[in-house]
A = this chain, B = another copy of it.
C-alpha cells in the first residue's frame, strides 16, 4: 500500500501540471475560435457556373457532394472537422492536431536524422514498440479499409468493394463534367506527353543514388511487387487486376493452382528443379509441359536459356531469374528442415507450410532490410505483427491503382552493370538474356547486384530503353483520370506544394513544369512524384509518404500477421516460426549460394570500400 500511496501523490502532482496545461489550451482554443468564426474564411463558390466540387473545396478528407444548381455540401463525418468545408476542428483532438502535429516533411526529416537519438530509442524496447505500433496504425489508417472507390465511378459504390477484379483507388477519378482534366485548375486538356517525358523524365547522364542503394534493391523491388501488381492486360483499361492483392508468394509459386501444380515436384513439398554445373536451378520451360512464360516469339532464344519461373514476366531479366533461383533453393531448403521436424508430413503439407514461411520471410526482409534502406529512417523498422493485435488495424488489403503507378521506378536502373570486374552489360544486353548468370555463375551475378550502384530515383533520370513503359504509365494515369499530386498530398496528410519551385527546388524544371501545367494544383500524380526535389530517402518525399502507407498496410494486413495466424503452428512449429523471425536478405542469399557469400557483405547497400 505504501507504494501505491506514493503513486497517488505523484499522480496528484501530474494532475496539477496537466490541469494547468488544459486550462491554457482552453483559453487558446476559445481565443482562436473567436478569431475565426465559422465559415468566415470559406470562399464563395456559388457563382462558378460549374459543379463547385470540381474545385475540391472540402478540407481534411471531407467528401464533396454536388447539389443541384451548381451548389455543394461537404460531408465532414469521421473527419474530426466541421463547417461548410470541414475546416473547423470539431473537438480538442483535431484542434490540437492542427496546432502541434508536425507535417510529413518535418516528421520525415526527424526520422531520417538525429542518429544518436534513434540509437537510444532503438534500444529501449517498450518505447520502440510504441513507435512501431504508431507507424503501423497511422500508416494503416490512411489506406481506406474497406475500400470505397475504383476507377469505375466518381463516387462510392458497392461495386468498388465487391468487384475485386478492379484495382481499388484512394481517390476517385476527376469527374468527367469538370472544366479541366484536374478539376478546374490548369489547362483544359493534358499537356503534351512527349514534352513532359523530354523535360521531366529522360536521363541526360546517369545520376547515381546518393544513399549507396545497390542493384539488388532494384531487383527486390521488381521481383517482390510483381506478386501483387498484376494488371489484367486483356482488359481495355488498366484498372483491372488478375492478382490477389497481397504478399501471397505468387511471384515464387505461380498465381493459379494450375500454375502451382506445374511447378511442384510432388515429392517432399519441393519445387521442380534441375542441376546445372553442380548447382540447383529452375527447370527448363520445355521440361514443364503446359506452363507458359512470356518469352517474346520474335526474339530467338535457345531452349536451354528458357526457364519455368513463378511469374511469366520473370523471363525478362537475369536479376529476376537470380531471385527466382534463390527463392526456389530457399523453398527446397525449408522443405528439408520441415521434413526433419515432421517426418510424417505429406508432400502437400510440407509445400504449403514452406510457402507460408517464405511469405513470412518476404515480409520480414521487406520491412527490416528493404524499407529500412528505402526510407533511410534512423529508427530501426521491425516486423512485429503482435503490435497490431487487438487494435483497430484491419487485416485486409487491396492494391490501389495509385500504388501501381507510383511503383514505376525505372530511374533506379543503371545504364550498365559490371560483373566480375571485367564484363559490362547494358540494360538492353540483359533483356531476355540469362547469359550473365549462366556464364559467370549465380554467385558472381549476385555479387554484381550487390556491388553495382542503383540510379537515383529522381527526375531526368529515366533510362531511355524503358521510355515505352514510362509513356504507358502516363497514358494509364490519364485513362484513369487521376487527381493531381497536390490532392494526393492532402489525402495522405501532407501540405500541398505551394509553387513549382517549392515542388522541385530546381529553376529550370520549375519553369518547364509551369509552362506545361500553368497551376501547381494541376500537376499530374506520377509527374509530381518524380519531379519533386530529392529528400533524405531513396525516393522523394511524396512518393515515400504515399507509397509507405500502401506498403506497410499491405505487409501487415497479410493474414499471417493476424492474431490467429501469427503463432508457431502456422509455420509448422517453432523451427519454422524462427526462420521467419530471424530472416534477413543476407541469410536468404548466403544460405543458397555455393560460396555462402564468403567475403561479400550482402545487404541492399553497396559495401563500404
- Interface positions of A (Cβ within 8 A of B): 1, 4, 8, 11-12, 15, 19, 63, 65-68, 73, 75, 77-78, 144-148, 153, 155-159, 161-164, 244, 246, 248-249, 257, 342-344, 348-349, 352-353, 355-356, 359, 389-392, 394-396, 559-560, 562-570, 573
Is there contact, CB below 8 Å, between B4 and A156?
no
List of B residues within 8 angstroms of A567 by Cβ: 63, 75, 77-78
List of B residues within 8 angstroms of A246 by Cβ: 162
The answer, among B4, B163, B349, B355, for a CB contact under 8 Å with A158, is B355
7 A-B Cβ contacts within 8 A? A8-B8, A78-B389, A78-B563, A78-B566, A78-B567, A153-B349, A164-B164
A297 to B162 alpha-carbon distance, docked (Å): 33
A130 to B391 alpha-carbon distance, docked (Å): 18
A435 to B359 alpha-carbon distance, docked (Å): 58
Instruction: List the 9 closest A-B pairs by CB distance, nearest first.
Output: A77-B567, A75-B569, A146-B559, A396-B396, A161-B559, A157-B352, A63-B569, A68-B343, A162-B244
List of B residues within 8 angstroms of A161 by Cβ: 559
Is there contact, CB below 8 Å, between B146 and A395?
yes
Is there contact, CB below 8 Å, between A77 and B568?
yes
Query: A154 — nearest CB in chain B belongs to which residue?
Result: B349
Query: How far does the Cβ of A87 sit from chain B's closest Cβ, in whole Å?
Result: 17
Query: A344 — nearest CB in chain B belongs to which residue?
Result: B68
List of B residues within 8 angstroms of A146 by Cβ: 395-396, 559, 562, 564-565
Is there contact, CB below 8 Å, between B75 and A352?
no
Is there contact, CB below 8 Å, between B67 and A342?
yes
List of B residues within 8 angstroms of A158 by Cβ: 248-249, 352, 355-356, 359, 559-560
Query: How far does the Cβ of A150 sit from chain B's closest Cβ, in whole Å?
Result: 12
The answer, among B66, B164, B344, for a CB contact under 8 Å with A344, is B66
Is there contact, CB below 8 Å, between A155 and B349?
yes
Query: Looking at chain A's contact residues, is the secondary structure mostly helix, strand, loop, or mixed?
Result: loop
Query: How far does the Cβ of A46 sit from chain B's closest Cβ, in whole Å?
Result: 15
14 more A-B residue pairs beyond the given contacts A157-B355, A158-B248, with a C-beta to C-beta distance below 8 A: A4-B19, A8-B8, A8-B11, A8-B15, A65-B569, A67-B344, A75-B568, A78-B563, A78-B567, A148-B565, A155-B349, A158-B356, A163-B257, A164-B164
List of B residues within 8 angstroms of A395 by Cβ: 145-146, 394, 396
A390 to B393 alpha-carbon distance, docked (Å): 9
Of the listed residues A147, A158, A342, A560, the one surrounded by the most CB atoms of chain B closer than 10 A to its CB is: A158
List of B residues within 8 angstroms of A155 by Cβ: 349, 352-353
A70 to B457 alpha-carbon distance, docked (Å): 56
A395 to B248 alpha-carbon distance, docked (Å): 21
Q: Given the known A-B contacts A395-B145, A395-B146, A395-B396, are A564 and B78 also in contact in the complex, defined by CB atoms under 8 Å?
A: yes
A26 to B161 alpha-carbon distance, docked (Å): 49
